[in-house]
């Protein structure tokens, strides 16, 4: 049986086509996996680089953390802090001409070595008094942070404002080695 040149070419082309299709069919998932592995390797190398940089700068950040923690007041483990903080906020408001109609505090929350407590204040006063009070809070540094403030004009008195403030207060509790 003699195979013509044309049949040989068609047979070879068919064989190459079948081989190509089979290679693509079986190899395509492998190619996708290789692409994913290459991307994942690049991501992990970048993450390792960032982690090494963070480890190299750890002493800097630890020092900064200790410096910032030194700015926070330290209270005894058994002492109630609510009264002191509410009195301090009340005094700052009075000194700046702002009237606190009511203030209450949430529960104390522990975040690592840091203690936090939110104080919710209903206030009224003039814009100037409010600005000076907010500046006084800002001057306390890390100790106080105004989380939320609402301001509304008083319809009965011209130039008077009222609203609500939520102030986050940060402090530390003493440990046995700080006593």
Phi, psi of 176 (to 5 degrees): -60, -30
pLDDT score at 67: 85
76 and 152 co-located in one domain: yes
85 and 161 co-located in one domain: yes
81 and 145 co-located in one domain: yes
Which structural domain, as residue segments, surrounds residue 153? 72-173
| Secondary structure class of 29 (helix, strand, coil) | helix
pLDDT digits (tens, 9 = 90+) for 9-24: 999 999 999 999 988 8
48 and 83 co-located in one domain: no
**Domain count across the chain:** 2
pLDDT score at 47: 97
48 and 80 co-located in one domain: no
């Amino acid at each position: 049986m003699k195979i013509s040149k044309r049949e040989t070419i068609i047979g070879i082309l068919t064989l190459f086509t079948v081989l190509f299709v089979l290679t693509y069919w079986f190899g395509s998932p492998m190619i996708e996996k290789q692409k994913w592995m290459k991307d994942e390797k690049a991501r992990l190398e970048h993450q390792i680089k960032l982690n090494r940089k963070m480890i190299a700068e750890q002493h800097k950040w630890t020092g900064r953390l200790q410096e910032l923690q030194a700015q926070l007041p330290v209270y005894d483990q058994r002492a109630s802090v609510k009264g002191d903080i509410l009195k301090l906020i009340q005094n700052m408001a009075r000194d700046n001409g702002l009237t606190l109609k009511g203030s209450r505090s949430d529960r104390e929350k522990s975040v690592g070595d840091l203690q936090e407590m939110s104080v919710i204040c209903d206030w009224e006063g003039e814009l100037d008094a409010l600005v000076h009070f907010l500046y006084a809070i800002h001057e306390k540094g890390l100790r106080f942070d105004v989380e939320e403030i609402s301001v509304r004009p008083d319809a009965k008195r011209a130039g008077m404002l009222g609203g609500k403030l939520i102030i986050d207060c940060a402090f530390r509790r003493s440990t046995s080695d700080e006593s």
